[in-house]
């Protein structure tokens, strides 16, 4: 007769046993085989033949161990498949025994996990719907090296962590269990006992592919496999579209507030609705890419997604994982690239999240001077721990591999690069050399860029980096961080500061518009007018413009023209393109009703036309990142607050002259030097009547004259409307 040691029995029924597979399930012994099973409150458990459903044996209750049963199987000499029949409180049911199944993880997986080198880490950790040893179910695996016991809990076991404790795998600290009969849509968490046997708050799965609707916090089983992607055409050509010599114009979006449905309580749109409405709008407006503020699952709406808990789960706020993939496909069908904001810089302390995951600072630093962000009251990843770096790097690869996204914009890079970021003396720990640079974070960012560019050709990574850290978009083999592009925060700050000045004072701040050209080609820059500029009391972009009424809109149109003529790729946050008057509110829709007014509709038309001009004109994008693509014509006309420059292509396409007048004074017969003689066509004028301007211009273009101006032998005589930007292209017959 099989016996269970009293010590093992006590730990099984109390849920404290560190190796439940050594007790539960089927075991061979000198007399044949035995089965041990645990079901709290059960009055009886039978071993059943899985084919016939008939009892093979009835298990006996273990004395003084409620719910624990054991018994020998007569006439059997080897392991065999079986099911269990349970009886409790007058109810009967049948289920497969999770403890009869062997491990799923292999030795190679464990080796790579231990080395922190498993770039497909999501394939082995998390919850995976699969068939194991001929039975359908879900395999769960989680890293918790300092835990005494880890269990999977859910409705399937009454959220009772005693019922399904997991198998510990070697020295890696990974726990796993195959749960037969569990499938798509099942909510679950991990219940963890720390090394001292104390029960921790239940944890969401760090690798969960789905989550419950907030404020609920459980993970949800979502099948990754089986999606039949239909975007092969886009995927084959996107690499050519992401080079620095291509037009890239990005529309930044917060999915929760781009558009809402007033007829349905003001709810945000679903992924399916965005696939139709947002994608169609972006296509019509001529943007090349959509950039989504973070869609990795997050608990607090007010964080806008920048405090994520489920890095591997597209937020359920707009639909399921499969519906998110359908949105990605809709973008690609419209030939629009999709960029996601990615947040490896910090994570919140929510009890169900990564903080103190196994009772120890596993993902974060133990020292709060290294592991806590004072700006956001969040935790900081321990980038120097190989398993943590692996978790994050694999996540970057995951979004490209599994969801076909085209780019990641890495948030708050500056906060990662410097140990003293936003900290006072004594609140930070120097690096091993005594310096302020976070060497581990730098190495992590380099490894991430190396991994994603090597794994998935054609993608792009973008850094939001607000300091002058060198080589952000320089390849790692040349000592850089390896990003494809960097947001030009200096350009944004300087030019918005200039535009906020009363035009009469702008001549004293002229250098704010020219200084950016001193470093414009030091990185592969994107010019951002992002969400950060229209929140926290900053007002809207329109609100930053001086003057009233028409003058405010004219300033805005001239500024947008200046931006599209300036070297660098473009980014506009939603609402900027319709001259939203109010500051962005994440709980409300964009003020689409403003398009009933000509001034707002005119700005929208201008952005549409600027995108069209930009994409159709090689001189405006081919050398965005090279000094040979830019030539000052009028750099020092401070008294007139006038700027003029030429953009050059490399493929023989005509050059483009851009002229901006940032005073409310019309300048008739202003002579501007040009690098080449010929007829200069007026391609776009921000003062055009269809944009809400005064309709003043140059009758379609001007012929050059052999009259020296601006240091050039030839020039054109033009009218510069007040507060305007004009584009002229040399006609080549």
C-alpha distance from residue 465 to each of 345, 392, 462 (Å): 12, 19, 9
Q: What per-residue confidence (pLDDT) applies to 226?
A: 85
Q: Structure tokens of 342?
A: 């990615």
Q: Is the pLDDT of residue 342 over 60?
A: yes
53 and 149 fall within a common domain: no
Last residue of a domain, one of 100, 121, 142: 100
Asked if omega into 215 is within 30° of 0 (cis), the reply is: yes
119 and 143 fall within a common domain: yes
DSSP 359: S
Spatial separation of the C-alpha atoms in residues 489 and 465, rounded to whole Å: 7
Last residue of a domain, one of 100, 118, 147: 100
77 and 129 fall within a common domain: no
Q: 441 lies in a domain?
A: no
Q: 499 lies in a domain?
A: no
Q: Is the pLDDT of residue 586 over 80?
A: yes
* Cβ atoms within 10 Å of 703's Cβ, excluding its own: 12
Looking from the CA of 72 toward its CB, the CA atoms found within 13 Å total: 11
118 and 216 fall within a common domain: yes
Average pLDDT over residues 566-593: 97
Average pLDDT over residues 240-247: 97
84 and 23 fall within a common domain: yes
| b (16+ CB within 10 A) / e for 529-553 | bbbbbbbeeebbbbbbbbeeeeebb
Last residue of a domain, one of 199, 220, 241: 220
Q: Is the pLDDT of residue 175 over 70?
A: yes
Q: What per-residue confidence (pLDDT) applies to 74?
A: 81
Looking from the CA of 538 toward its CB, the CA atoms found within 13 Å total: 16
Is 411 part of the annotated catalytic residue set?
Answer: yes
Counting beta carbons within 10 angstroms of the beta carbon of residue 643, is it exposed (0 to 12), middle (13 to 18) or buried (19 or more)?
Answer: buried
- Set 387, 411, 523, 682: catalytic member: 411
CATH of the domain at 213: 2.60.40.10
The predicted-structure confidence for 253-307, as pLDDT tens digits, reads as follows 999 999 999 999 999 999 999 999 999 999 999 999 999 999 999 999 999 999 9
91 and 63 fall within a common domain: yes
Q: 660 lies in a domain?
A: yes
Q: What per-residue confidence (pLDDT) applies to 733?
A: 65
Query: Bridge-partner residues for 709, per DSSP?
Result: 712
For the chain, what is the domain count? 3
CATH of the domain at 645: 2.60.40.1180
DSSP 382: -
Q: 582 lies in a domain?
A: no
If residue 448 lies in a helix (H) or strand (E), which one and from where to where?
helix 439-455
Give the residue among 164, 111, 253, 239 at the shortest CA–CA distance from 572: 253
Q: What per-residue confidence (pLDDT) applies to 424?
A: 92
DSSP string covering 242-267: TSTTS--EEEEE-TTTS-EEGGGTTE
- Set 464, 577, 687, 729: catalytic member: 464
Q: 63 lies in a domain?
A: yes
- Considering 107-111, 421-425, 684-688, the range whose residues carry the highest mean pLDDT is 684-688
Q: Confidence class of residue 29 from pLDDT cuts 50, 70 and 90?
A: confident
- Residue range of the domain that includes 77: 6-100
Average pLDDT over residues 408-436: 95
204 and 123 fall within a common domain: yes
Give the residue among 331, 333, 310, 332 at the shortest CA–CA distance from 321: 310
**Phi and psi at residue 151, to the nearest 5°:** -125, 155
Q: What per-residue confidence (pLDDT) applies to 1?
A: 55
Q: What per-residue confidence (pLDDT) applies to 577?
A: 98
Spatial separation of the C-alpha atoms in residues 31 and 76, rounded to whole Å: 9
Average pLDDT over residues 491-509: 98
The predicted-structure confidence for 367-407, as pLDDT tens digits, reads as follows 999 999 999 999 999 999 999 999 999 999 999 999 999 99
Cα 373 to chain centroid, rounded: 20
The predicted-structure confidence for 629-664, as pLDDT tens digits, reads as follows 999 999 999 999 999 999 999 989 999 999 999 999
Counting beta carbons within 10 angstroms of the beta carbon of residue 51, is it exposed (0 to 12), middle (13 to 18) or buried (19 or more)?
Answer: exposed
């Amino acid at each position: 007769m099989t016996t269970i040691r009293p010590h093992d029995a006590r730990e099984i029924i109390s849920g404290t046993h560190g190796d439940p597979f050594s007790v539960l399930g089927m075991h061979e012994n000198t007399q044949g085989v035995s089965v041990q099973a645990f079901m709290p409150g059960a009055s009886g458990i039978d071993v059943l033949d899985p084919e016939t459903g008939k009892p093979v044996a009835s298990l006996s209750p273990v004395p003084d161990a409620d719910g624990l049963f054991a018994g020998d199987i007569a006439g059997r000499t080897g392991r065999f498949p079986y099911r269990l029949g349970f009886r409790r409180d007058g109810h009967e049911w049948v289920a497969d025994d999770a403890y009869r199944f062997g491990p799923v993880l292999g030795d190679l997986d464990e080796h790579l996990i231990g080395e922190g080198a498993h770039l497909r880490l999501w394939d082995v950790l998390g919850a995976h719907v699969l068939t194991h040893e001929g039975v359908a179910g879900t395999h769960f695996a989680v890293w918790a090296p300092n835990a005494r016991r880890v269990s999977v809990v859910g409705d399937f076991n009454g959220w009772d962590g005693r019922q399904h404790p997991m198998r510990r795998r070697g020295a890696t600290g990974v726990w796993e269990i195959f749960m037969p009969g569990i499938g798509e849509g099942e909510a679950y968490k991990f219940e963890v006992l720390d090394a001292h046997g104390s029960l921790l708050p239940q944890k969401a799965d760090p690798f969960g592919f789905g989550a419950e609707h907030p404020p609920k916090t459980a993970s949800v089983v979502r099948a990754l496999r089986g999606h039949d992607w239909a975007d092969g055409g886009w995927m084959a050509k996107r690499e050519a579209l992401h080079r620095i010599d291509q037009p890239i114009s990005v529309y930044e979006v917060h999915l929760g507030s781009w558009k809402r449905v007033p007829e349905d309580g003001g709810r945000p749109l679903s992924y399916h609705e965005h696939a139709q409405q947002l994608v169609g709008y972006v296509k019509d407006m001529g943007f090349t890419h959509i950039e989504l503020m973070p869609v990795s699952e997050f608990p607090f709406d007010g964080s806008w997604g920048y405090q994520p808990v489920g890095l591997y789960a597209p937020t359920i706020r707009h639909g399921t994982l499969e519906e998110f993939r359908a949105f990605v496909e809709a973008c690609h069908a419209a030939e629009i690239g999709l960029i996601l904001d990615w947040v490896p810089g910090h994570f919140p302390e929510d009890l169900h999240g990564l903080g103190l995951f196994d009772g120890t600072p596993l993902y974060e630093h133990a020292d709060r001077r290294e592991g806590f962000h004072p700006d956001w009251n969040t935790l900081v990843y321990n980038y120097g721990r190989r398993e943590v770096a692996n978790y994050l790097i694999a996540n970057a690869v995951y979004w490209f591999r599994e969801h076909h996204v085209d780019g990641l914009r890495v948030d708050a890079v500056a906060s990662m690069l410097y140990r003293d970021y936003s900290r006072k003396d004594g609140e930070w720990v120097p690096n091993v050399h005594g310096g302020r640079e976070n060497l581990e974070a730098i190495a992590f960012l380099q490894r991430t860029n190396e991994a994603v560019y090597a794994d998935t050709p054609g993608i792009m990574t973008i850094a939001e980096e607000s300091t002058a850290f060198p080589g952000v978009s320089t390849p790692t083999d040349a000592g850089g961080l390896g990003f494809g592009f960097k947001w030009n925060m200096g350009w944004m700050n300087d030019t918005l500061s200039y535009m906020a000045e009363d035009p009469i004072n702008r001549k004293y701040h002229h250098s704010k518009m020219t200084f950016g050209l001193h470093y414009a080609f030091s990185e592969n820059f994107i010019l951002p007018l992002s969400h950060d500029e229209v929140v926290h009391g900053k007002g809207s972009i329109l609100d930053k413009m001086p003057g009233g009424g028409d003058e405010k809109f004219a300033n805005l149109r001239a500024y947008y023209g200046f931006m599209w003529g300036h070297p660098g790729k473009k980014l506009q946050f939603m609402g900027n393109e319709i001259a939203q008057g109010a500051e962005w509110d994440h709980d409300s829709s964009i003020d689409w009703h403003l398009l009933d007014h000509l001034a707002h509709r005119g700005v929208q038309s201008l952005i549409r036309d600027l995108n069209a001009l930009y994409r159709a004109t090689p001189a405006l994008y081919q050398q965005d990142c090279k000094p040979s693509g830019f030539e000052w014509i009028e750099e020092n006309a401070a008294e007139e607050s006038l700027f003029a420059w030429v953009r050059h292509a490399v493929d023989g396409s005509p050059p483009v002259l851009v002229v901006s007048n940032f005073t409310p004074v019309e300048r008739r017969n202003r002579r501007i030097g040009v690098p080449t003689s010929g007829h200069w066509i007026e391609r776009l004028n921000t003062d055009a009547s269809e944009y809400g301007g005064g309709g003043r211009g140059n009758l379609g273009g001007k012929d050059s004259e052999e009259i020296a101006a601006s240091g050039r032998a030839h020039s054109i005589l033009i009218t510069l409307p007040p507060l305007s930007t004009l584009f002229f292209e040399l006609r080549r017959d």
